[in-house]
Structure 1
Amino acid sequence: MPSGWYGELILYSGPNTDCPRLATVKDGGELGAHSLITITLPALLPGSGRECVVQEEEMRVHGSLRSEAYEFAIPIPVGGQGHDGRQKEKFEWRRARGDELRSLDESSRGWKLVRLSLSAEEEDDGKDQEIVAVWADASMFQASMTKAARFQFLGSGATGELGDLWTLMAAVTFLRVWQRKMQLTITTGTAAAVA
């Protein structure tokens, strides 16, 4: 975050800023419940011999401060019988509690990344939506300047079947949700101090 909490977010491919950028997040709108965030990702073309092509994806924020959610769509690999293409699927960060976060061994409150249905038929069949990643703030006893949160891929998010581009998008959107949470904490704290 070269400009601090309220500036852009840059994810590098290594431990310092001399490494190539993997993703850049900029606000495309206001900080309110309807903000639009534009995320620039390089196209990952392993072994193609072509230079990476930059693409832009969006993450939309909706809901209220207590029930906000962050939704994005990203192309994921589609295989089978000679078909090697990609199709966009939707995913959404939602608040999570208790059992959904148990594997993190951290705070009992956090976020889950849900793989949304592809079609109206899938929405109508009553199936539970798959949780593909979770994150939570570091517990109060383990928090430090070097450990702010813990993140984990689950299910098809952990197997690699959703592809490298999805993996990068999941990681950078997690960081953006965490950054936004910190912005809101700072703003609320500043407003309380002034009042």
Structure 2
Amino acid sequence: MDPSPPPYTEYVQHGQSREEQVPQYEAATYNQSSGDFKTLQDAMAKFPPTLNGYFEWKMTSTFHLGPTAEQKMFAVTIPASVFGNKPSLILYDGPTKEDPIMATLKSDKWGRIRPVDIALPPRQHGHHTNAIDVQMVPAPSKHVSPTYTFETQGTGKGAGRERFEWRKTQGNEIKELATGHSYGWKLVWLSGLVTSAGGSRNEREMGVASDGTEIVALLAHNASWSMTKGFRFAFMGTGLTGIFGEVWEILTVTSALHLWYLDFQGATAAAAC
């Protein structure tokens, strides 16, 4: 059986003003040796602009995130009792399990249809000194692929709440991010500026969803489900500027890891049938 998720069906949000315009979007440059990459990395609050997932499942349940195999910057663990009472995913602020915990995600056996809890412990040397708890809420539908939404507090004086939504995608942004990767997830900025430049995939600008919302992060699956390099992640557009802050970056990476693992489980189950 083909383990690939079903094609994503775009949808259009109603009741949103199209009067405000986002700046002209230019596709991000992912060449790590370029000066542009260093400029983008300097702008980020916590993570580099792109990350890969590196795995050695036969040796350990811990895998690593980093821009290259030689730069494994963060460790991630998925305990054996996944979807139990313990955290089902732990992200560390360093390449080992001895490094401080940056975020934990707790799910259950209904991880696809119930909210999951993401907890960020206080970071003494980070941007938040208090514990932060956020829910990622699924919104499945009979007519479109499921989506997952979370909110964060905006940065800056007088900032309000910001809403973001993960949607499945097979769009051009995924193809640009990782050659040979045909599907994955895109994170759109729901409470940001919208544009009239949405529409069908062939008509709209790169970095803009069908409803005109801006794409601020991507997760591309490895089409072969390689156990050494499982996925490629990238921040995009406004997500590359650092203005959403460290908390948003941590939530975005943690939630992306959860969605990758849900798809990985689905692919494994399908292959076993």
Same fold (TM over 0.5): yes
Counterpart position of 1:81: none
Q: Distance in 1 between matches of 2:258 and 2:139?
A: 15
Q: Distance in 1 between matches of 2:109 and 2:216?
A: 27
**Pick from 13, 16, 23: which aligns with 2:96?**
16
The answer on 1:70 being equivalent to 2:148 is: yes
Shift of 1:139: 3.9
**Pick from 75, 88, 91: which aligns with 2:161?**
88
Change (3 A) 1:6 1:30: closer
Q: 1:25-104 maps to which residues of 2 (within 5 A)?
A: 25-27=105-107, 30-33=110-113, 35-43=114-122, 46=125, 52-64=129-141, 67-78=145-156, 84-104=157-177
Identity of aligned residues (%): 33
Change (3 A) 1:88 1:43: farther
Shift of 1:27: 1.4
What SS does the corresponding residue of 1:23 show, helix, strand or coil? strand
Number of residue-to-residue matches in the alignment: 177
Q: Distance in 2 between matches of 1:44 and 1:17?
A: 16
Q: 1:100 corresponds to which letter in structure 2?
A: E
Q: Distance in 2 between matches of 1:144 and 1:129?
A: 32
Q: Distance in 1 between matches of 2:104 and 2:190?
A: 24
What SS does the corresponding residue of 1:176 show, helix, strand or coil? helix
Q: 1:36 corresponds to which letter in structure 2?
A: P
Asked whether the equivalents of residues 44 and 165 of structure 1 are also in contact (C-alpha less than 8 Å), the reply is no
Q: Give TM-score, length-normalised by structure 1.
A: 0.78
Q: 1:1-195 maps to which residues of 2 (within 5 A)?
A: 1-3=78-80, 5-6=82-83, 8-27=88-107, 30-33=110-113, 35-43=114-122, 46=125, 52-64=129-141, 67-78=145-156, 84-106=157-179, 107-117=181-191, 126=196, 128-140=212-224, 144-190=226-272, 192=273
Q: 1:136 corresponds to which letter in structure 2?
A: A
Q: Cα deviations across residues 131-165 of structure 1 (Å, max 9, x unaligned)?
A: 0001111243xx63221000000011111111010
User: Which one has a larger percent helix, Structure 1 or Structure 2?
Assistant: 1
Structure with the bigger RCO (C-alpha within 8 Å, sep 6+) is 2
Counterpart position of 2:21: none
Q: 1:98 corresponds to which letter in structure 2?
A: G
Shift of 1:110: 1.2
Q: Distance in 2 between matches of 1:37 and 1:185?
A: 21
Change (3 A) 1:100 1:179: same
Shift of 1:175: 0.2
The farther-off stretch of 146-155 and 102-111 is 102-111
Q: 1:110 corresponds to which letter in structure 2?
A: G
